[in-house]
Amino acid sequence: MTEQPLPPPGNYPPPSAGYQPPPSAGAPSDSPYTPWLTRVLAFLIDYIPYAIIVGIGYGIEAMTQETICANDSSEYNLGQFCVTGNSTMGVAAFLASVAVGLVYLVWNYGFKQGTTGSSIGKSIMKFKVVSEQTGQPIGVGMSIVRQLAHFLDAVICYIGFLFPLFDAKRQTIADKVMKTVCLPLS
pLDDT tens, position by position, 100-121? 999 999 999 999 999 999 999 9
Residue 171 resides in a domain: yes
- 19 assigned to some structural domain: no
Number of domains in the chain: 1
Confidence of residue 1 (pLDDT cuts 50, 70, 90): low
Q: Is residue 30 part of a domain?
A: no
Has residue 16 got a pLDDT over 90? no
Flag whether 21 is in a domain: no
* 70-104 tens-digit pLDDT: 887 777 777 888 889 999 999 999 999 999 999 99
Higher per-residue confidence, 20 vs 32: 32
Supply φ then ψ for residue 117, to 5 degrees.
95, -15
Indicate whether 145 belongs to any domain.
Answer: yes
- Does 81 reside within a domain? yes
**Does residue 154 belong to any structural domain of this protein?**
yes
Identify the domain containing residue 143 by its residue range.
36-184
Average pLDDT over residues 59-73: 91
**Is 8 part of any domain?**
no
